[in-house]
Amino acid sequence: MSENIERIKCLIIGSGPAGYTAAIYAARADMKPVVYTGMEPGGQLTTTTEVDNFPGYPEGIDGPRMMVDLQNQAERFGTDVRVGMVTKVELSDKIGGIHKAQIDNKNWVEANTVIISTGASAKYLGLPSEQKLRGGGVSACAVCDGFFYKGQDVAIVGGGDTACEEATYLANICTKVTMLVRKGEMKASKAMQHRVENTKNIDLRYHSEVDEVLGDQVVEGLRIVNNQTGEKEEISITGLFIAIGHKPNTDIFKNYLEMDDVGYIITKSKSTKTNYPGVFACGDSQDKEYRQAITAAGTGCMASLDAERYLNSVEDIVEPETEEASA
Looking at the annotation, which residues are catalytic?
Answer: 141, 144-145
For residues 17 and 283, what is the distance between their CA atoms, to the nearest angstrom? 8
Adjacent-strand bridge partners of 297: none
- Burial grade of 56 (CB within 10 A; 0-12, 13-18, 19 or more): exposed
Cα–Cα distance measured from residue 239 to residue 128, given in angstroms and rounded to the nearest whole number: 16
Q: Which residues neighbour 279 within 8 Å (Cβ) at sequence distance 6 or greater?
A: 91, 99, 113, 114, 116, 256, 257
Instruction: Give the Cα-Cα-Cα angle 134, 135, 139 (nearest 5 degrees).
Output: 70
In this structure, which amino acid lies at residue 260?
D
> DSSP of 204-234, one letter per residue?
EESSEEEEEEE-SSS--EEEEEETTT--EEE
Task: For residue 234, give Cα distances in angstroms to 159, 209, 211.
Answer: 21, 12, 9
The amino acid that residue 184 corresponds to is G
Residues contacting 138, CB < 8 A, separation 6+: 130, 213, 219, 239, 240, 242
Q: Say if CB 199 and CB 226 are below 8 A apart.
A: no
- Spell out the residues 6+ positions from residue 281 whose beta carbon is closer than 8 angstroms to its own: 115, 116, 117, 257, 265, 267, 272, 274, 303
Cβ proximity of 28 and 129 under 8 Å = no
Integer Rg of the chain from CA:
22
